[in-house]
Amino acid sequence: MNLCDIKTVKNLLKRYSTDTKKGFGQNFLINQSIPYDIAKESFNYHTSVCDSACVLEIGPGIGALTSELCQRYDKVVAVEIDKSLIPILSETMADFDNLTIINDDFLKIELDSFLDEHFGSASVSVCANLPYYITTPIIMKILESGKGRFTSITVMVQKEVADRLCATSRDSEYGAITASINYYGRVSRLFDVAPDNFLPPPSVTSSVIRIELFKECPYFVSDEKTLFEVISGAFAQRRKTLLNSLSSSISWVSKARLAEVIEECGFELTIRGERLSIEELCALANKLYEEKIK
């Protein structure tokens, strides 16, 4: 069954009395080469860094990407929020005995126990065509939970989001989410996907990105909570200097002392937060943590 054929997709949805749901950000792929390429990129990277072959898919839809993952990975666990798609997946994925389908909201799952239950101690990749409206919460949940369990995240997102995630500290798109992700791994853009590859077509171009997660973080951080408070504060008011933006959000140090700390880190007081790399933000956070625990 070609799950990227428009007639097949429409017939399946009609036969099961459902349709694409805007509220769930559903846009089904109708170009078979796209899920093939996404799954290939995910699997090739996974197998280059570990021996196990397990993948978590978020939002399988009717299974176009899922089937490609099942043909490559030893174990696939797919989490689908839309209960009306579960019977369709049961039909379209019936030939695969290495697939577990879970009807749940991924953002409400307790991820550490979920990984233990479904993957044991194995390393896990994430591969998904993510709904645009919850891309960032999903990615951050994966990064913040299950530390050391994930090898990579290969996902299709809105191109504008990909621009932010792949930005450097000298780019206008660079922001708090960019810096946060850079703390966990390296981001790369794999390829773009035009709107006419979907049913219904979205109004924007998509991009497939991969986040290669660090096995061991290369940055020394005294306190992660402080780091993310600094990242959030540094980008809270982008038009203001780092000093003014941070002073509005960090309460444990005076503005005068904050200015001294910024200069002690080797930064000019006129610098803005978006000019700082994750390494520089870590150094600043470590200095400010010393002030916090005095």
Tracing tokens 């504060």 back to the chain, one arrives at: 233
Q: What is the pLDDT of residue 179?
A: 96
| Contact assessment for residue 42 and residue 51, using Cβ atoms and an 8 Å cutoff | no
| Domains contained in the chain, CATH given | 6-213 (3.40.50.150), 224-292 (1.10.8.100)
Q: What is the pLDDT of residue 49?
A: 67
End-to-end Cα separation, the chain, in angstroms: 65
The string of pLDDT tens digits covering residues 263-288 is 999 999 999 999 999 999 999 999 99
| Phi, psi dihedral angles at 51 (to 5 degrees) | -85, -35
| Phi, psi dihedral angles at 194 (to 5 degrees) | -75, 155
- Rounded CA gap, 126 and 184, in Å? 14
Q: What is the pLDDT of residue 5?
A: 96
Q: What is the pLDDT of residue 44?
A: 85
> Which among 278, 42, 48 has a CA at the least distance from the CA of 153?
42
Number of residues that make up the chain: 294
Rounded to two decimals, the pTM is 0.92
Q: What is the pLDDT of residue 178?
A: 96
Q: Is 154 exposed, middle or buried (0-12, 13-18, 19+ CB in 10 A)?
A: buried
| Contact assessment for residue 185 and residue 211, using Cβ atoms and an 8 Å cutoff | yes
Q: Which residues of 75-93 are buried (b: 16+ CB within 10 A; e: fewer)?
A: bbbbbbbbeebeebbeebb
- Rounded CA gap, 32 and 44, in Å? 18
Low-confidence ranges of the chain (pLDDT < 70): 48-51, 146
Q: Is 253 helix (H, G, I), strand (E, B) or coil?
A: coil
Q: What is the pLDDT of residue 23?
A: 86
The string of pLDDT tens digits covering residues 128-170 is 999 888 999 999 999 998 678 899 999 999 999 999 999 998 8
Q: What is the pLDDT of residue 294?
A: 76
Q: What is the pLDDT of residue 202?
A: 93
